[in-house]
């Protein structure tokens, strides 16, 4: 299941990148709200599944 989730996450990132290239910063574009939703989904996945960097370990 984790592999499928990770693959879906990567697909969402690729889709968001494509939308950003196409829509740009035009908030009136019909796909702008879809960009927002995909961004929220990516953020939720990363909050739940991607460990945060320990900045003390890096320094």
The string of pLDDT tens digits covering residues 4-56 is 998 999 999 999 999 999 999 999 999 999 999 999 999 999 999 988 877 67
pLDDT given for residue 54 in this prediction:
72
User: What pTM, to 2 d.p., does this model score?
Assistant: 0.79
CA distance 44 to 56: 25
Domain count for the chain: 1
Nearest to 43 by CA among 19, 18, 12, 15: 12
Contact 13, 39 (CB under 8 A): no
CA distance 30 to 17: 16
Question: What residue numbers bound the domain in which 42 lies?
Answer: 2-58
């Amino acid at each position: 299941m984790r592999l499928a989730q990770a693959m879906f996450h990567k697909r969402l990132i690729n889709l968001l990148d494509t939308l950003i290239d196409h829509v740009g910063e035009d908030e009136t574009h019909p796909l702008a709200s879809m960009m927002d939703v995909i961004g929220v989904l990516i953020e939720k996945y990363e909050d739940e599944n991607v460990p945060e960097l320990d900045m003390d370990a890096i320094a």
